[in-house]
């Protein structure tokens, strides 16, 4: 198996017409071999009962949201070859953000690291490649709607019981499998599903 030294958050793009997000990543080595392993994930943001009306004035907000989605999705590819350094080419992280994302990856991969006997010390170090930070446009979320992540397991069911008195919508990111379908039938609610296509590499 090829050994890589670095992981990169390369770029992201958004097709406003078709509501498709494209998120790109790659690995490389420090041996000047030029060998890379590249990945592209596609996320379909179209939903049956959710209408997205994205205006040009919202581009800065959209860019910030997509940037953070790009960082979050990268964990699925990073764990293929856990490297010491993760270089961010698609945006800029301040010190607080770096600490947040390093914890996000470390805690999110805790079980994976233990099962694969990987020492967590010294890995997962986020680095900027851009020299300056983009101005982030702040925004307020006015909606009072509640999204409940739905995996179909006991956590989903217990959470739905706790939120029973509130109007919530089950949220699925990825495939709608048999377990999710069956538990949603019992719940009696239609989910909001965002589809993702993992890279075929």
Burial string for 42-78 (b: 16+ CB within 10 Å, else e) reads ebebeeeeeeeeeeeeeeeebbbebbebbbebbbebb
Strand partners, 82: none
Kindly tell me if the per-residue pLDDT of 139 is higher than 80: no
pLDDT at 26: 97
Q: What percent of the chain shows pLDDT beyond 70?
A: 94
Residue 50 — very low, low, confident or very high, per pLDDT cuts 50/70/90?
low
- At residue 22, the 3 state secondary structure works out as strand
What local confidence, expressed as pLDDT, does residue 25 receive? 98
Taking all residues of the chain, what is their mean pLDDT, rounded to a whole number? 89
Q: Which structure tokens are listed for 172?
A: 């699925």
**Structural domain boundaries in the chain:** 6-128, 146-197
Q: Is residue 1 scored above 60 in pLDDT?
A: no
Interval 38-60 mean pLDDT: 81
Does 102 have pLDDT greater than 60? yes
Q: Mind spelling out the 3-state secondary structure of 99-162?
A: HHHHHHHHHHCHHHHHHCCCCCCCCCEEEECCCCCCCCCCCCCCCCCEEEECCCCHHHHHHHHH
Q: Please give the Cα distance from 43 to 25 (Å, whole number).
A: 14
pTM (2 d.p.): 0.87
Would you state the structure tokens that stand for residue 15, as one six-digit string?
């097709």
């Amino acid at each position: 198996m090829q050994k890589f030294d670095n992981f990169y958050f390369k770029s992201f793009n958004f097709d406003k017409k078709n509501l498709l997000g494209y998120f790109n990543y790659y690995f490389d080595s420090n041996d000047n071999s030029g060998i890379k392993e590249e990945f592209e994930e596609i996320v379909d943001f179209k939903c049956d009962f959710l209408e997205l009306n994205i205006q040009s004035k919202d581009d800065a907000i959209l860019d910030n949201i997509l940037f953070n989605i790009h960082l979050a999705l990268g964990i699925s590819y990073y764990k293929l070859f856990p490297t010491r350094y993760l270089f961010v080419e698609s945006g800029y992280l301040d010190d607080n953000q770096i600490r947040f994302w390093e914890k996000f990856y470390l805690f999110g991969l805790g079980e994976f690291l233990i099962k694969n006997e990987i020492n967590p010390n010294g890995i997962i170090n986020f680095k900027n490649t851009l020299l300056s930070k983009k101005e982030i446009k702040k925004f307020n979320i006015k909606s009072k709607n509640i999204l409940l992540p739905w995996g179909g397991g006991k956590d989903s069911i217990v959470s739905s019981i706790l939120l029973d008195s509130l109007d919530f919508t089950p949220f699925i990111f990825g495939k709608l499998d048999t377990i999710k379908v069956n538990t949603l039938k019992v719940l009696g609610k239609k989910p909001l599903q965002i589809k993702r296509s993992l890279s075929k590499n």
